[in-house]
Amino acid sequence: MSKRNLIGGEWRGSDDVMEVRFPYDGSLVDSVSMASAADMDAAMAAAVDGFEVTRKLPSHRRSEILSNMAGLLRARFDEVVEAMILEGGKNRKTAIGETTRALETLKISAEEARRIGGEVFSIDWTAAGENRQGFTRRQPVGAVLGITPFNYPINLACHKIGPAIAAGNPIIIKPAEKTPLSTIILAEIVLEAGFPPAAFSMLNAWGPDSELMVTDPRVAMISFTGSGAVGWMLKSKAGQKKVTLELGGNAGVIVHKDADLEDAAAQAAAGAFANAGQNCISVQRLLIQRDVFEDFADLFVEQVGALKVGDPRDPDVDIGPMISLRDAERAEAWVNEAQGAGASLLVGGGRDGTLFPPTVMTETAPNMRVNCEEVFAPVVTISAYDSWDEAVALINDGPYGLQAGVFTSDIKRVMDAWDRVEVGGLHINAVSTFRVDHMPYGGVKASGYGREGIKYAIEDMTELRLMTLNLR
Ligand code: NAD
């Protein structure tokens, strides 16, 4: 029987069944019932009822539910790892790393659930406020619709479910079509952890079908992680809802001549190719000061050569398959197109089905798609720059602004980069890929708006409510 959808505490199947296939060899892994319009309607109706329960849950209870979830996820750790390897072709090391982070995300959520406070502030800045007092507190917004992408299915779902529960909101989670299985395990965990059943639904729905919930007034907020094309389109349809968008990027990393080149090369190799480059903060553009370009390139290529490509079930493999043949072919076309326009390969190229070897390109131009668009594949470009200002201009050149990295030992450059690099997060002596789960995380420009990182997501998932007290 195909895996079912969880709707307000009830598991329901459907006639619309989707196959889940292992991206490495195309073998059948499982099948999943896709939610109908009636299922979505039922989930939203349940969420409205569920909100009457969740808004009154005391913080110790919300925290306890989240701690229970962390305990249950720990018990099912290996099962989640296997599900992610098979549904998304995620290599074992990365799947273990992601599940470990998902546990952290739930533990952080359990802590933050206790910390949702408010403010007492002096409202008498002008005579009109004399003899009054001002207070604020945060109120849960209502039903949250969490839409997640394929590349980090368990941790990104926890980044939506965790803060929603912490804030006292119901949540409907809709995973990506390609990676439903790990989220189904998470749904079982939410139910078992004691969250009010009406307040949680997990729907495997086709992307376009889900727009029904994007436009429905019973959903108060959309927390979307995915591509810019879908995210910005959904925002335009969301009307009065709150919307947060965690979208893509083409992250740049600057390596200045005063940096520790060995460390930078090692970090860049890990950051460019983790999860087969299918990472919104993957290192895509390496900008190297010309004096150290050759030295850095040699070190980097050596690091890249040590990466093992292959079957994601093999614990030694660093780079598994891409999510689909279509995506691998698209990346290959971009590499070929750049080569046709004068770029050359330092290493890589030569796709084998969904397996795409780590590929390093040089002599690229900023307007090539491997630079100016999100490549979302194990492909990185490496370019030389002469002046610091040129490096800053290059890193900012383009539509995105999620995260960036700068390697330098000069504190003035560090502060200048912090001023001028247009991103949501800048990492010094670290690559763009750095993330721990409680830090504010999100982008500017085409990379979206709003921040995740539990405390910050809770701000987005609540409304500030003011009360003034007239003491006259
Ligand atoms: P995608 O945009 O194709 O899909 C994301 C989700 O949106 C899926 O659940 C999909 O079913 C849903 N969807 C698609 N069309 C829809 C519609 N019309 N209405 C409602 N929902 C719809 O993205 P993807 O290929 O799964 O993921 C890759 C993208 O996600 C990349 O661009 C990557 O950078 C981005 N991403 C961003 C972050 C971040 O935190 N900023 C993290 C991971 C991935």
Cβ < 6 Å from ligand 1: which residues? 147-152, 174, 176-177, 207-208, 210-211, 214, 225-227, 230, 234, 246-248, 280, 374, 376, 402
Angle between the 153-167 and 59-75 helix axes, to the nearest 10 degrees? 160
Q: Would you say 384 and 365 are in contact if contact means Cβ atoms under 8 Å apart? A: no
Classify residue 223 by its DSSP letter.
Answer: E
Residue 31 burial by Cβ neighbours in a 10 Å radius (0-12, 13-18, 19+):
middle
Ligand 1 mutation pick, 20, 34, 150, max ligand atoms within 8 A of CB: 150
Ligand 1 mutation pick, 32, 84, 147, max ligand atoms within 8 A of CB: 147
Per-position b or e across 430-440, b if 16+ CB within 10 A of its CB:
bbbbbbebbee
Ligand 1 atom having least distance to the Cα of 443: 41
Cβ-based neighbours of 77, under 8 Å, separated by 6 or more = 99, 103
Side-chain-side CA neighbours of 406 within 13 Å: the count stands at 25
Could you give phi then psi for residue 75, rounded to 5 degrees?
-65, -25
Which helix (DSSP H) or strand (DSSP E) does residue 213 occupy?
helix 211-215
Please say whether the dihedral angle defined by the alpha carbons of residues 369, 373, 378 and 379, taken in this order, is positive or negative. Answer: positive
- Output the tens digit of pLDDT for each of the chain's 472 residues: 799 999 999 999 999 999 999 999 999 999 999 999 999 999 999 999 999 999 999 999 999 999 999 999 999 999 999 999 999 999 999 999 999 999 999 999 999 999 999 999 999 999 999 999 999 999 999 999 999 999 999 999 999 999 999 999 999 999 999 999 999 999 999 999 999 999 999 999 999 999 999 999 999 999 999 999 999 999 999 999 999 999 999 999 999 999 999 999 999 999 999 999 999 999 999 999 999 999 999 999 999 999 999 999 999 999 999 999 999 999 999 999 999 999 999 999 999 999 999 999 999 999 999 999 999 999 999 999 999 999 999 999 999 999 999 999 999 999 999 999 999 999 999 999 999 999 999 999 999 999 999 999 999 999 999 999 999 8
d(CA 64, ligand 1 centre) in Å: 31
**pLDDT of the residue at 217:** 98
**pLDDT of the residue at 322:** 98
Q: Would you say 93 and 315 are in contact if contact means Cβ atoms under 8 Å apart? A: yes
**pLDDT of the residue at 112:** 98
Q: Would you say 362 and 297 are in contact if contact means Cβ atoms under 8 Å apart? A: yes
